Amino acid sequence: MSTEHTKRKIELLRLTDELVEDILSMSDEELRKEAKEIDLSAEADRLRALIEQAELRARKDKLRQAQQQVRSEKEQRSRESSATNVDVARRIMGKLRDSSNESVRNGLMLAARKANKPIDQLSESDVLGLAEDLKELDLWDGDENE
């Protein structure tokens, strides 16, 4: 808690104590007179509005926290999925590179040439792009078990 916040809280507690003292020291007649001057219905409406605003702020804060948590979880899943896809694509490309099917090897070489690097030195985005190229060439349908 900040020093400023602590000071304000102490001042508020002192003010509260003084108000309570004033109310307790009033006579019954003074209390009745004060009560007549106060529009209880308006005060009740004002307090209800304050409570509703506080509840709304609390709900909005909860919603923002939940939205942030959802975003974080989506980002985490996306990172995990991307890493898995890259690993799978690298394994498949290794299998295709060793394939006895000449058209498969030629297609892989064409796709790798486009990336301009050996398969094991490709970045994640290059590997995923290469996997898309292989799918377009009908050399791989995206199945990990191929």
50 band by pLDDT with thresholds 50, 70 and 90: very high
Residue 64 confidence (pLDDT) above 60: yes
Average pLDDT, the chain: 77
Res 131: pLDDT: 73
Mean pLDDT over 16-31 rounds to 90
Over the chain, what HEC string results?
CCHHHHHHHHHHHHHHHHHHHHHHHCCHHHHHHHHHHCCHHHHHHHHHHHHHHHHHHHHHHHHHHHHHHHHHHHHHHHHHHHHHHHHHHHHHHHHHHCCCCHHHHHHHHHHHHHHCCCHHHCCHHHHHHHHHHHHHCCCCCCCCCC
Residue 88 pLDDT class (50, 70, 90 cuts): low
* pLDDT reported for residue 14: 93
